[in-house]
């Protein structure tokens, strides 16, 4: 393998993740040191180091793992790296996984039972492969679990080939895309629709 090409690929993806972290932080979607962001490389992952503030990321805050999520540079990855590995394994066409902890995503995960159904929104067309508002997208809500292997098994039981993302109850959103740019767009669209759903829920209260 050509280490120069690997390094260049890593740097390109690290820079994209840094920009995504700043974008999310500016919108209040990754408060404190929450969230984790990754991009698939041809032989591993570029992923944020555990416990780093996403609004102040540098290249030192992006680490390299192998395809199983094992650190290749001595840095410490989030335990949730295993969820990223699961998504890349099962959705091979997607090359970026982004996880946010926004107030809207967290609140709707606590208020919505086992799923959030999004339908009729023009913004649904921001999700790859959707070309009409006359679409229903279901975002599963999965119980939180500190046992990440067990949590990944719960995710596996709820997702299918058409899944666009999932919420962990009281925790936040996971979504993905074919590029970091695609995944960022998916986060932005889903976060907007979650906020609208919450407003509608408030208006419907007696």
Binding-site residues for Zn(2+): 99, 101
Round to whole Å and give the CA distance between 73 and 62.
10
| Binding-site residues | 99, 101
Torsion sign over Cα 37, 185, 28, 120: negative
Helix (H, G, I), strand (E, B) or coil at 19: helix
Nearest C-alpha neighbor of 59 from the set 71, 49, 51, 69: 49
Q: Does the CA dihedral 100-104-107-111 come out positive or negative?
A: negative
Pairwise CA distance, residues 191 & 169, whole Å: 15
Contact at 8 Å (CB) between 186 and 177?
yes
Three-state SS at 32: coil
């Amino acid at each position: 393998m050509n280490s120069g090409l690997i390094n260049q690929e890593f740097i390109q993806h690290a820079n994209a993740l840094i920009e995504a972290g700043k974008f999310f932080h500016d919108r209040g979607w990754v408060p404190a040191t929450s969230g984790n962001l990754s991009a698939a490389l041809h032989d591993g992952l570029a992923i944020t180091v555990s416990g780093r503030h996403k609004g102040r990321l540098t290249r030192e805050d992006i680490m390299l793992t192998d395809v199983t999520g094992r650190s290749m540079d001595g840095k410490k990855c989030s335990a949730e790296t295993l969820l990223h590995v699961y998504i890349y394994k099962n959705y091979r066409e997607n090359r970026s996984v982004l996880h946010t902890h926004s107030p809207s995503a967290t609140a709707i995960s606590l208020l919505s039972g086992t799923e959030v159904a999004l339908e009729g929104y023009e913004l649904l067309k921001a999700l790859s492969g959707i070309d009409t508002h006359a679409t229903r997208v279901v975002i599963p809500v999965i119980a939180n679990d500190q046992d990440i292997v067990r949590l990944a098994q719960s995710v596996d039981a709820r997702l299918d080939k058409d899944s666009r993302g999932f919420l962990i109850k009281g925790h936040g959103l996971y979504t993905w895309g074919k590029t970091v740019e695609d995944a960022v767009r998916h986060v932005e669209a889903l976060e907007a629709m979650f906020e609208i759903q919450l407003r509608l829920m408030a208006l419907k209260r007696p």
